[in-house]
Chain A
């Protein structure tokens, strides 16, 4: 997060406003898209894709991750790894159910 001279900070403010407007547009998009008559799988993919895009914008610009120090990235890489494991846990249960009962 550079931005120490007044000029640089003013430039950053413009970025924040752009991100803010994008987030509002994407929020409305997420509500509108949810009204579409698509299958659950497609709805989940679209919904989570928009949420991830919004999350990335917040993390990169509001939380300054776009230009952060290596130590922070190191912490976050480990976090992402363990988060992925957490999300994979239900999948394991799903497979073991299948093995025991022969059905999903």
Chain B
């Protein structure tokens, strides 16, 4: 049962601190066995999936409610699943070396393994809600991982930014998925993809598509939501390598690819995806060369790659699909490897600035080789897989049906910039003059080399002999799933001399030139800095600051700490709402006759007297007693109308209320008039209006009988079904037991709250030091 195995990952994550105690430094290796096992299982399923197209693995969870955890295994989810598990194993091993002796290694393992499981669940899920839950889990685990160095204010800020952007998109995604479920009448992806009805014609298509795209674009860092991804580089490098290049940021791409056969191909889809994707591609590549931080360089180039993938989905031709799957695979392999190389450089030299490094080739020959291979794939140089991906990409851009000139221009410019970035990352640190670095560099340990080496080797072998390793078959299955029609993928290094190849060669030359001139180009680009400050990130900041200001304003207005204001606001709201529905929406109609006895008048009279006295009394005790009189009069009314249970309850509650009030009275300051006479008139008017409205409400409720009262059923069935003659009690413990259970918890919470507040205030006086420090912690300003 694969579902069980995948979910066990969460248990494994929870247990990892214990594993840490047993295995110490080797925990990472032990944990890596988990993704390795899953990868092996996925690989074993591959022949069947490729043969049959898809595999539906159902696990009934709550059969009576129709809730099941179903996994859909087809070419697309298989490719993603393999990427996640293989990369996961590499990253875990790598992290063991990178974070060696880190005191919080166990916490890192928890978050990373939990992320891995969530991501795997996301790509395997068949149910829309399952997909959504795993989607949100990846956001949360990503938040924990970006903020791993929680003592650093930048890490916290970046983590929060990533969370806000992706979760805001997640909200849109939820709306989109619900619309999708309504439009298609099914909550299962396999059914939605398999059905005949065309969702493109559906009335809900436009809102649904916009919501889904918002979710996918925020997650996959498309322009203008791209700004969170470079900031997410505050995470430890293994996280950047895993989440922010190969897996999580591709979740949005995965969703788009998954829904492409049902939703793709319309003018709207093609327009939005091609233009946004191409813009993201160019913006990412352009922003990359501004930076000298190696991780930022890679992050912006990841944005460029994500934009490329979106654009290819937008183009939607058969060629574009082939390019999409090839580019996806190639990018994950080389970018993962390059990020790990960046981590090695950072780890060994103590700096992330590429201009501060140089000539490391002789000191770190293995790292240099890995970096070179990965970067050549990145730059699209034969015979690596990246070259094939890039050829196919250029080919499909040239064959695009819409916006062809724009896309070709953007793709060409982006590939020049990308090539420059690839050379900067791979050549700059290893060749040229030796620089002095904060740490004395030497070759990285084996655990940090094995992961990137495997990925780089993958780039090389899949480029040289794609058919032998089964890549063709797997990518064929994936491309078929994405397009909805059979597509035969046959990767090859040589497609003949065509426009794409010529463009490739020209861009290689220009890219190399740009790399050579990088330092002077960067100086010239710094002129743009003032313009850059007004980018989308500034928009995000001003929105967040606006929200904070608004909440401060409304908190001051509504929660100023004065009980009288709270009550006033509540009552005015009550008047507005009840008044609106009684007076404006229903014309009040009363049908009752005034048939009262003398003793009833006496009881009601004493209530009114009590209420009046409570308002004019100048002593607290007097007010409490007169409110008590009202309460006891109500109890009397209950008795008169033969409701003994209510009467007893009312009596007891009233007694205890008086006792509690008396106890509290001693703690209050002396009675004094705090309000002006104008305010008192206002309060009087509000109170009178509430009283009149409630009276009207009761009279209306009494005159209108819209439904058969439920009490008849309860009275009839109380004895035969619930074995009780006291209907009030039967309602409390049987008919409405769930309500009572909830009320018990409310009561308990209220009591605990009262006790805690009293004890806490009491504790503050005796131990003012801890109280002060907690205040400081609570007051920490919002730094977003």
Q: Are A and B part of the same complex?
A: no
Q: Which residues of A contact B (CB under 8 A)?
A: none
Q: Which residues of B contact A (CB under 8 A)?
A: none
